[in-house]
Amino acid sequence: MKDPGRESEHFLKLMWALQFYVNVKLKLHVNINNVHEYAGIANEKKVRVRDALFDDIGIVDDFVQENPEGFTEPDLMIVREWKNFVRGNFFIERVLKRYAVFIQDSTVYGVKSVSEDLDALAALKRLPLYIHAVLLPFKGKIIHDGFMNFGNMYFGSGIKSSLRENYMAAKQNGRIIETLESTAPGKREKKKPSAVKDWKPELDKLAGRARKLKGSMDGPAIYTPAFSLVKAGIEFAQIAVSDPEDLEGLYKALAKVRRAHNKASTVLSREESE
């Protein structure tokens, strides 16, 4: 999960310079004479400066205009983009190879790390985690700034299930936010598979064969609902492969599957064991 060392160094070089500037402007900690000294102070002191920065993010414009460290224009552009930060409480729902999944209300972010290994955090703590963090744009990605306050909370199956569904829905609909840059495009389109097998001919054949399935007065009672369940399932699959965007049609077909399932359950519940 940790970004390459050079990116970590690059981020910290810019962030410590900005925070040192904030510290000087607001006079939060005295006797710190340069960025190198600031980088060595305790994290608790840095958090105070960090919070002051994001409480008054307009100070970024002053830093960019004065450019006290003589940064290049690309570096200053990175710092400018930090005005698009997101701060607050998040759930870390899961940690993937690509990024960690941060959820805030119904918004899902894919977050990388430049200063702390989220894989290690996931191993030490039970997911999901409830944290307070600041998310920042950095070179086309979203990162957290390295300071995360963890809530010591236990989550039951209901909350875990809700968070998982939130993530799965965002993933399915292309709503996972992976960048905060102001120049980034809007909502990403759903990824369309480059090559998908056409299952329609196979399903049409199955539908033709399934029409021959019929229960009888002399046959077991379970035959009729079982055959109905097969036919309803095939119909649902046919709509899914022919027009997966037809949600109304899919829901109607799924309702038939449920009715067939319920009838089969009723018949099974009537059976008396010997």
pLDDT on residue 193: 53
Q: What is the pLDDT of residues 205-222, one digit of tens each?
A: 999 999 999 888 888 999
pLDDT on residue 69: 96
Round to whole Å and give the CA distance between 255 and 204.
20
Q: The tokens 């307070």 sit on which residue? A: 132
| Predicted TM-score of the model (pTM) | 0.74
Q: Which two tokens stand for residue 107?
A: 């918004």
Q: Can you tell me the mean pLDDT for 192-199? A: 73
Indicate if the pLDDT at residue 187 is higher than 60: no
Q: Which two tokens stand for residue 37?
A: 């000294």
Q: Can you tell me the mean pLDDT for 32-39? A: 96
Q: Hey, how many other C-beta atoms are within 10 angstroms of the C-beta on 112? A: 19
* Sequence letter at residue 270: R
Residue 125 — pLDDT band, cuts 50, 70, 90? Answer: low
Q: The tokens 């310079």 sit on which residue? A: 17
Q: Which two tokens stand for residue 27?
A: 């006079």
Residues 6+ apart with CB under 8 A from 185: none
Q: In terms of pLDDT, which residue wins out, 16 or 122?
A: 16
- Bridge-based pairing of strands 107-113 and 141-144 is parallel
Round to whole Å and give the CA distance between 219 and 212.
15
Q: What is the pLDDT of residues 130-177, one digit of tens each?
A: 989 999 999 999 999 888 877 777 778 889 999 999 999 999 999 999
